[in-house]
Amino acid sequence: MTHITHRQLFFNHIAQTSRFPLALEIERAEGCFMYEPSGKRYYDLISGIGVSNVGHRHPKVVEAIKEQADRYLHLMVYGEYIQAPQALLAAALAESLDLPAKAIGPFGQIDRVYFTNSGTEAIEGAMKLAKRFTGRFGFVSCFNAYHGASQGALSLAGQQFFQQNFRPLLPGTKRIRYGVAEDLEQITTDTAAFIIEPVGGESGVRIPDLSYMQAVRRRCTETGTLLILDEVQTGFGRTGTFWAFEDYGIYPDILVCAKGMGGGMPIGAFMASENIMSVLTGNPVLGHITTFGGHPVSCAASLAAFRVIREERLYAFAGRKGEMIKAAFSGHPLVKEVRGKGLMLAAEFESFDLLKAIIDACITEGVVTDWFLFCDNSMRIAPPLVISEDQIREVCGIILKVLERFR
Ligand SMILES: Cc1ncc(COP(=O)(O)O)c(C=O)c1O
């Protein structure tokens, strides 16, 4: 029998999402590294797109997964049985959101957590919650934002390109410019929710002004619009604080997270005060349901990741580490700009063609980076938060050497 390689199986049977998948075969991963079957080592500078905040296979996450697997896997659809990993994780998240009273929004402190399987599902849940709570159906989001791929979340997407062949999508959605205070006028008493990322992710790491984010909060409060903060990429320590919004002195009405939350396992959540969340329990009962949301193994992994990030204060070091990366590339003749907050960074080049050639060369040299969905001339740099300063020096050195070839 002829031997069929994994590569052949991948191309023959895995539904492809583009004509140019990276198609690296990884056999093992640990910390900041991924290894091919040949033993070739890659620095993961993108954390599987914002997921591996505690690094690949963090020992505490792996231990929690094993312990939970020895107790039980799926037991029952979401919200019926008392499952300790869910309850403990929800309490931990609520505690992380118990912030100084002056920051709390008009609808109170967030202490209810609805677990989902992904960021997209959490966005969907948040949208339904906002509609149900406000009795409105309008949504405002930002140009160049990405909030997920389902039809509701896609309706919020900030570029027509990804929407056009899937219409009709949800009615009543509007896009405004990210970071432009005058556009906030478009949030009105017809708007159920304004959804925004505290740092724009797929737009290529865009950091709004503090005054803008405060104006966002004010406008939402004035119009009775719920403020949904999408922390799918920024949450769990990525930007230098545990939640990115903490840096702006504001507080959301609904908070969404996923990605880094699971320590490598699939999980997401939308969170709100009891006041808001309670509308999902009646009229109709079971206002939002899921079979696997908050899977006990994912919750156990997430709780372990939560504790690692908070106990080791990984978020606090992300700022300094990010500055090291910024310093390495700022001023380089090929790099037009380096943007970033914590370990969520983007290095901008002249064109996609140049960046793509650089990214390919980096992969050959054992460094995985990427560009962004809505910003294809900027290199995504978002390594695991556990990356050491020596590793930063090493990996920046590799990239700088690659850049020399393109000068
Ligand atoms: C800001 C943001 N929101 C939502 C999502 C959707 O999350 P998921 O891919 O887990 O469905 C993403 C994914 O990239 C994201 O970056």
Question: Is the same domain home to 243 and 391?
Answer: no
Q: Is 198 in the pocket of ligand 1 (CB under 6 A)?
A: no
Segments of the chain scoring below 70 in pLDDT: 1
Beta carbons within 8 Å of 212's beta carbon, 6+ residues apart: 179, 180, 181
Nearest alpha carbon to residue 192 among 276, 287, 121, 75: 276
Counting from 1 in the atom list of ligand 1, the atom nearest the Cα of 258 is 10
- Write the CB contacts of 221 (distance below 8 Å, at least 6 apart in sequence): 105, 106
Domain co-membership, 189 together with 270: yes
Q: Please tell me whether residues 380 and 262 are part of one structural domain.
A: no
* Six token digits for residue 90: 């929800």
For the stretch 276-335, pLDDT in tens is: 999 999 999 998 999 999 999 999 999 999 999 999 999 999 999 999 999 999 999 999
**Domain for residue 278, yes or no?**
yes
Q: Which atom of ligand 1 is nearest to the CA of 150?
A: 11
Pocket test for ligand 1, best of 146, 255, 257, 373 (most atoms within 8 A of CB): 146
Nearest to 362 by CA among 407, 314, 400, 310: 400
Which two tokens mark 113? 């957590």
For ligand 1, the distance from its centroid to the CA atom of residue 119, given in whole angstroms, is: 5
The Cα 54–Cα 47 span in angstroms is: 9
Q: CATH number, domain at 128?
A: 3.40.640.10
**295/325 same-domain check:** no
Q: Does residue 295 lie in a domain region?
A: yes
| Protein residue whose Cα sits closest to atom 4 of ligand 1 | 147
Does residue 120 line the site of ligand 1, with CB under 6 A? yes
188 and 256 share one domain: yes
379: nearest Cα among 402, 394, 387, 390: 402
Same domain for 224 and 92? Answer: yes
| Residues 117, 39 share a domain | no
Look at residue 1 in the predicted model and tell me its pLDDT.
60
Q: Quote the pLDDT of residue 279.
A: 96
Compute the C-alpha angle 308/310/328, nearest 5°. 85
Residue minimizing CA distance to atom 2 of ligand 1: 147
Does residue 331 sit in the same domain as residue 307? no
Please report whether residue 10 resides in a domain: no
> Is 46 in the same domain as 147?
no
Give 357: exposed, middle or buried? Use CB within 10 Å, 0-12, 13-18, 19+.
middle
Q: Is residue 178 part of a domain?
A: yes
Predicted TM-score (pTM) of the model is 0.97
The radius of gyration of the chain from alpha carbons, rounded to an integer in Å, stands at 21
Task: Tell me what pLDDT residue 2 has.
Answer: 75
Last residue of a domain, one of 254, 287, 311: 311
CATH of the domain at 374: 3.90.1150.10
Q: Are residues 305 and 354 in the same domain?
A: no
Could you say which of 243, 277, 311 is where a domain stops?
311
Determine the distance separating the centroid of ligand 1 and the alpha carbon of 382, expressed in angstroms: 15
Q: Going by CA atoms, what residue is nearest to atom 7 of ligand 1?
A: 119
Q: In this structure, is residue 350 part of a structural domain? A: yes
Instruction: Indicate the residue among 311, 330, 355 that finishes a domain.
Output: 311
Is 201 touching ligand 1 by the criterion CB < 6 Å? Answer: yes
Check whether residue 198 and residue 279 sit in a common domain: yes
Q: Are 237 and 355 in a shared domain? A: no
Residue 4, in any domain of the structure: no
Per the domain annotation, does 55 fall within a domain? no
Question: What are 60-101's pLDDT values in tens digits?
Answer: 999 999 999 999 999 999 999 999 999 999 999 999 999 987
Q: What is the domain range of residue 34? A: 19-50+315-404
Q: Are strands 191-196 and 173-176 parallel, antiparallel or unpaired?
A: unpaired
Give how many domains the chain has, as a whole number.
2
- The per-residue pLDDT for 101 is 74
Tell me the CA–centroid distance for residue 150 and ligand 1, in Å. Answer: 10
With respect to residue 56, please indicate whether it lies within any of the assigned structural domains. no
